[in-house]
Amino acid sequence: MVDNRFELMGGESSGGMGVVCKAIDLESGKPVAVKFLAPWDPHAGDGARVRPWTSTDLKRFHRECDIQRELSGQGVPGYVHSRLTGARPYLVTEYVDGLDLRALLTQRRPGRADAAAITVQLLRILGRVHSRGVIHRDVKPSNIMIAKDGRLFLVDFGISLPMDPQATRHTVGRTPGSLGFMAPEILQGERSPGPPADLYGAGCTIFLLFAARPVFEYGGNEFQVEYHHRLTPAPRLSTVIGDVSEAMDETVAGLLAKSPSERPTPEVAERPFLDMLPRPGSRGNPGEQYDPKRPFLEGTASAPSAPARGGPTRRPVVRRSPTSGPSRDALRSLCLGASEELRDAGPGDCARRLVDVLPVVRRRWTDADGDVLSALLLCAEAARAEGDWVSAGSRFRAVARQLRGVGPGSPSYGSQVRARLGAVESQLNEDRIPEEAPPDWCGIACEVLELGQDARPDLVALCREVGEELLACGSSTEVAELCERLAGSA
């Protein structure tokens, strides 16, 4: 029993930030869903997956309750009650008697009319959410519920954000989201994504609905999947299933565009799917459950929402290979200028211009290119200098991945060490130190010490600096001993 009002009925499920249980609201007699704040710890053992919540977790949960209250109804479960004090903060919402889309897809592959009905309902929900100034940030099949009467609901606003870039963020560390559905700009560290980020997740979901496969196959290597979503053009739906109208093919390709500005709005994106829907009053299967066509057959489907605030309507545009951007010589000149700025007085015009062209050169030449790696590392260091730890960490990790396996004899070894140290330092600016940060640093420190007199003084100094930050956060005696050895070798 919760607060002498909500009688828990079991059916517990958990996510990244909470545990959800079915309950009965004794005041109304209706079933409800009760979500308790219970952050998941990815580093914990099998016996204790939930960690104690922090003040940042509570602020984020408070924001989720406010957003749920604001959006309540029409594709978002209705708000019932919340309590943010005490040992177990909780949020109570309408209970959706149905299945999430991921579970439904494991049972059967929807026909094209069903897939179109799901698509249109989802896009209309997103249009309404965006029109209220909210970005969901985690649009994926497991966060889309289909009720027994065929209505769709978008759930779990735990990592959603207000659209206003000046609004307070309670997000730390790497930007949250789900592998295979995160927009390229989020993967690259964008802290204030706009509505197009949700449209990318919708595009991945729509592709899965029609093609019965993800946009990019997951082969056990999450970095490879992230790489493809950031830089590799998505396959055309027409090349996977055939017999697709040109308008539908263009729309799905537009939703999966790497550039946010090229993605269509929900109102535009739904148009090619409308002709696939049944007309109100058409003959259906009245007894069939989880039929997404039913709201259209009964004429109860919601109408499209007005465009999101600040979001002009535009037609779908298919991403093509970039035709503008700096030449090799211009990129190298920018890198040289940015390097001098970072060495002397901090990021300046060259560094800012380099950050602006970075997405273009990454698409054109990929992260494996030496000039792009130099630019990526400089942009990471510029973000670090400005305290943008999310962008810095994302870029440092990208460089470290590309240079994995490079040894001390390689000219790129110094860049690899700087990137690995930068990744550790970025992690330290979270509310708590990730368990992998001290061992990662210790491994780097041992490598640098083994070089002896051949170790570059700047790498020794940077390694010691990050180690001292670890010590200030209360790290182990091993870190202290290695810091002393680094000081002696300087």
Give the pLDDT mean for 327-341.
92
Say what the pLDDT of residue 394 is: 86
CATH of domain 6-94: 3.30.200.20
Coarse DSSP helix, strand, coil percentages of the chain, rounded to the nearest 5 percent: 45, 10, 40
Average pLDDT (181-205) is 91
Residue 317 has pLDDT above 50, yes or no: no
Q: How confident is the model at residue 392 (pLDDT cuts 50, 70, 90)?
A: confident
Tokens of 416: 């690899």
Inform me whether the pLDDT recorded for 158 exceeds 90. Answer: no
Nearest to 347 by CA among 384, 307, 309: 384
Rounded Cα distance, 461 and 242, in Å:
58
Mean residue pLDDT of the chain comes to: 86
Residue 64 near residue 176, CB atoms below 8 Å = no
pLDDT at 466: 92
* Domain 98-165+173-297: homologous superfamily in CATH: Transferase(Phosphotransferase) domain 1 (1.10.510.10)
Strand stretches in 242-285, DSSP E: none
Which band of pLDDT confidence, cut at 50, 70 and 90, is reported for residue 17?
confident
Nearest CA among 415, 416, 429 for reference residue 466 = 429
- The per-residue pLDDT for 52 is 84
Nearest to 283 by CA among 296, 299, 297: 297
Q: Say yes or no to pLDDT of 49 above 50.
A: yes
More confident site: 379 or 172? 379
pLDDT for the residue numbered 388: 83
Enumerate the domain spans of the chain: 6-94, 98-165+173-297, 321-389, 403-490
Q: Can you give the pLDDT at residue 316?
A: 44
| Continuous H helices in 348-429 | 349-365, 370-385, 389-402, 413-427
